[in-house]
Structure 1
Amino acid sequence: MSRLFGTDGVRGLANELLTAELALKLSQAAAVVLGHEKVETEGRPKAVVARDPRASGEFLSAAVEAGLASSGVDVFDAGVLPTPALAYLIADLDADFGVMISASHNPAPDNGIKFFARGGRKLPDEVEDAIQAQLEREPERPTGAGVGRIQRFADAEDRYILHLVSSLPHRLEGLKIVLDCAHGAASGCSPQAFSLAGADVVVIGADPDGYNINDGVGSTHLDKLKQAVIESGAHFGIAHDGDADRCLAVDHAGEEVDGDQIMAILALALKGDGRLKDNVLVATVMSNLGLKLALRDSGIDILETAVGDRYVLEKMVEGGYSLGGEQSGHVIFSDYATTGDGLLTGLQLAAQVARTGKPLAELAAQMTKLPQLMINVKGVDKQRAGSDEELRAAVARAEQELGESGRVLLRPSGTEPLVRVMVEAGDMGTAERIAKELAGVVESRLAL
């Protein structure tokens, strides 16, 4: 069997790739692998299950909960909640593991299953592999008092919201903020959290019907948020994705503030408070060079990881670092969360606007984004991208030309037969010219 788990759980078209049968078997396998530490004297393992509002999440969550309970796991059904809420609640409840049913920013027909270990942490590859291997074996089948029970986690949302608000260094009175909830998992708790923190809230994209998640709204579609901010005269806007583990923003003029700019604002604020561990920010290789330059001038180092918030988190745990994230808006505060949390990020960003009294646009201007262009070169042998001598020489020439004012990144896709060519430069014309030249070399040297 090929590997089921991708970079963020098992994901695919619901009822085609991701069926109720697969969800049942995955949860039975996870019950064995993730609940194995329990012994009879300690009682049954506990798991928290949550989902985003997709229609398919209803039957998938039912299958997951059936698989867990039939394997001797007590299930706490948290209903529709953001992914970071699930991660927090696993730790807060001292559960053995958790299951999130969501396909994040994907369209409504897709869905996914993500497992979290004790403490609300994402699983390493070897544990995911163990769950997949367990699919080939017989599940646990306890009887009588050994079967698990399913109960509603009635105060799950309240616990999470109170946790978010308690993290704030400054309240939000005086701020008018537009929230775009992507018709997703944040539709209930994000407006409540921002209102409880004192903000005057305007809400869009908060009417999920099971089919409209991420449809023209949310962090991957910012036009409606930009319009709403300008029309309402708001100070700025916050956009979540379907499962609310990411956050992007727009300023009062409707200009986008991406994850790199958000991380710059928050890293500088934490350093000023003496709360940025070792004055380090963890970011992926895709972060804009402008982020590194801005933070270097302020005495902050960037540790780079591969693309994916799980790799950011691994590096943060390894060094005990305070802050990390991705350009896409996955931001992790290790003091308050074990995964990217779009609500927490938005609240912390708003708190800096309120505390400094400066517009978001001014705070974002602490970092100057370098022009960045990416070209996806398809139909090539991505395995040879790092070994072809002529390609390496072409990259070296481009890097020499750019110097410290730009950079080149060639990255094989993790899921497709293509190579991504990314170039940053002092101006877009230079970035475009060099990117096209390198894409041509990739195409000619690595053609299938």
Structure 2
Amino acid sequence: MTWSFETDPEFAAELEWVDRFVREKIEPIDQLVPDPYDVADPLRNELFKPLQQEVKDRKLWACHLGPELGGPGYGQLKLALLNEILGRSRSAPTVFGTQAPDTGNAEILAHFGTEGQKERYLAPLLDGQIVSCFSMTEPQGGADPEVFTTKATRDGDCWVINGEKWYSSNARHAAFLIVMAITSPDAEYHRRFSMFIVPSETPGIDIIRHVGHTPGVDGSHGYVRYTDVRVPADHVLGGEGEAFAIAQTRLGGGRIHHAMRTVGLVQKSLDLLCRRALSRVTKGERLADKQSVQHAIAHSWAELESFRLLVLRTAWKIDRYQDYSRVRGDISAVKALMPKLLNDVASRALHLHGSIGVSSEMPFLEYIYEAFTMGLVDGPTEVHEGVLARAVLRNYKADEDVFPPYHLPLLREQAEAAHQDVLLRHAAAAGRPEGHGEASR
């Protein structure tokens, strides 16, 4: 049996380089670039492209992909260690080619795309030339496909898409959108939907508004209406009716990648909490010397390390089994835990910073918003708790008797029957009459 918590020295050295690179070169430009996904922004491109080239030269670009797709093929465990560092910065995932939703979209194009689709859409996406959009959820039902109404109907050598999608990630910047639509309304539930690659310049795509989290400021996610949007028949991903299988491949990876990056953001929150505790003096003593602050730090550290270990073990399982379905419960567990963890630690850090903590001059409100977002993207927390519970329950079976087999009187009776000779011998040695004492009951 082999068991270790050590990172191999060669990769550990790479992680040290990444840590310095993110702190010294990427985190500063977080203050200058409004939107890392805006590939049309000349300032963003002038700042990002040299850094992206450094990452590529270091062979750390697109680490979620295997060598056949231009990545180093590190696997999920090494990716988790890398993403912990990248998660501290808004810009770092894009500089390293590991940003959502493009990682998930690249994964399904790699698995289910034709050679033509890969050449037209995957190659420039992997190279960082373009960004993409995942357009699945709908305004009337969120992420529940049972109430989806967007349809695609076949018309000769085209599919025609009609409907509305809500919170379509990075729709305003995307070169193409991956759209989930009903293609066979009378088929069994899991065969009703198909996925389509829709170029953003296709007529009939109307972004009703750009959605964000700051009132009065346009965000990057789209409320999108599709009106008679025609796409060639060969723009179906996988095949007709395969949307559910494709979505699970995409979302499984996306969920664990969110968790990896969340580790980094929680660690940054804890770092800032501790620095404030050591720096601020009130009532004649440092905040760090106050018992309630020590409790906050201790709880934050323990919760973070527990979550980090679960994320790493889940990543290890994905690498070992190469089958997201076998690790579905584990992925749901980290997905369900990360919003509360980020919210709790960021809230403690905010509180310790006082009035400046609740202002826009500190990042904590953004982190707390991110925590609530993480509780909804790729499926709400309650859904994942249900998935996890069902996965756990599969390891058990129901008891049929009124009193369960772990009922203490029954267990005692069984133990006495199994060791009756020993009990009788000890009863005799103690001078108790035969037929009395423990063994007689």
TM-score interval w.r.t. the shorter chain? Answer: under 0.3
Q: Which has the higher strand share?
A: 1
Q: Whose radius of gyration is greater, 1 or 2?
A: 2
Q: Which TM-score applies when normalising by structure 2?
A: 0.24
Q: Which has the higher helix share?
A: 2
Q: Which TM-score applies when normalising by structure 1?
A: 0.24
